[in-house]
Copies of this chain bind each other. A is one copy, B any other.
Amino acid sequence: MPAESNRAGGAEAQPEVHPLAAPLVAGHRRALARAITLAESSRPDHQQEAQRLLAEVLPHAGRSVRIGLTGVPGVGKSTFIEALGLHLTGAGHKVAVLAVDPSSQRTGGSIMGDKTRMPGLTADPNAFIRPSPSGGALGGVARRTREAITLCEAAGHDVILIETVGVGQSETQVAAMTDVFVLLTLPNAGDELQGLKRGIMERADVCVVNKADTDPAATNRAQSELAAALHLLTPRLADWQPRVLQSSALRGRGLEEVWAAVQDFMSSPERVERKRRAQTGTWFDDLLREAAWERLSAGIDVAELRRTRSQVLAGTLTPVQGVLNLMPPTGA
């Protein structure tokens, strides 16, 4: 990848090409950071620029392993990402760390922004850490994160680690944009899984009992319990049975096994392609409906919408009647 660096200066002089495209594809960190900032901007001209840039670099994207990571607070996510990330950069990979925190309204000020959580990766030239974007229009945080993935991939990052931060829909959103979804748990998994959002365990492709060193016996027990529970659940993919592993990120143990499971998952291009296509299709359909709603709701009086919704919730109006009242079928 460093061999390609001189492409950054190789201006092809086409007026349509966005000036960030070449340095971004050449892997310049600053170009990548600026491109993500552009994509995160809600200014219409920035948005147009960002869409042009994304279209230009899209052919360079897609060649990475997208790993989602989730787990309750205290499970050791930062330490795990730091350890796994350094393990991977040490093995020659270029790693990007992103986060999804729908609750974050602080621009650049999310928990992820606190790079002191991952001092090793922060100092590593082959790692790129980006805080969670804040809301924005169509598609919100999920859109900004997906665009950041594309940009990181185009910049040559072949491992993208996407962390869930905060509450809300972040786990579901991250699971819907990653190839391998990893659930970190603690040795006392039985109690702790109760704190997880519903449906998260069913989305896990890999479960890792972290902090295994603190209580090996409990860790083994948790591993068996999780394996038994996952065996009972319907596998999300017909050709992948979720794995349950152990790790001690603090002591650097178990990371090779996690990475081996990830590679195992990725070893079937058909499986990855099928999963990505399904994710993309759902995302596109959701975006279409969201865009349609944004468009139409602009013509709906907010107070009327709120009043109608209250009536529906109070049971004095059926949902269908509420919708018909707001959008009369005779049409404008």
Contacts and interface: CB of A to CB of B under 8 A. Distances in A.
A320 B138 contact: yes
B234 A196 contact: yes
A287 B288 CA distance: 15
Interface in A222-249: 225-226, 228-229, 231-236
Contacts of A120: none
Contact of A194 (B62, B138, B234, B309): B234
A283 B319 contact: yes
A198 B323 contact: no
Contacts of A281: 309, 312-313
Number of copies: 2
Contacts of A55: 317-318, 321
Interface stretch (A110-118, A250-258, A289-297): A289-297
A292 B287 contact: no
Contact of A201 (B138, B233, B293): B233
Contacts of A61: 315
Given A58-B318, A147-B320, A228-B228, A193 B327 contact: no
Interface string A183-223: 00000011001111111111000000000000000000000
A86 B313 CA distance: 33
A77 interface: no
Contact of A320 (B139, B189, B322): B139
Given A147-B318, A193-B233, 16 more contacts: A54-B321, A55-B321, A138-B323, A147-B320, A225-B228, A229-B232, A229-B233, A280-B312, A284-B312, A284-B313, A284-B319, A287-B320, A288-B323, A288-B326, A289-B292, A292-B327
22 contacts: A51-B324, A54-B321, A58-B316, A62-B315, A190-B231, A194-B234, A198-B235, A198-B236, A199-B202, A200-B234, A225-B228, A226-B232, A228-B228, A229-B233, A283-B319, A284-B322, A287-B319, A287-B320, A288-B323, A289-B289, A293-B293, A295-B327
In the A-B complex, the 5 residue pairs with the closest CB atoms: A292-B296, A284-B319, A292-B293, A229-B232, A292-B292
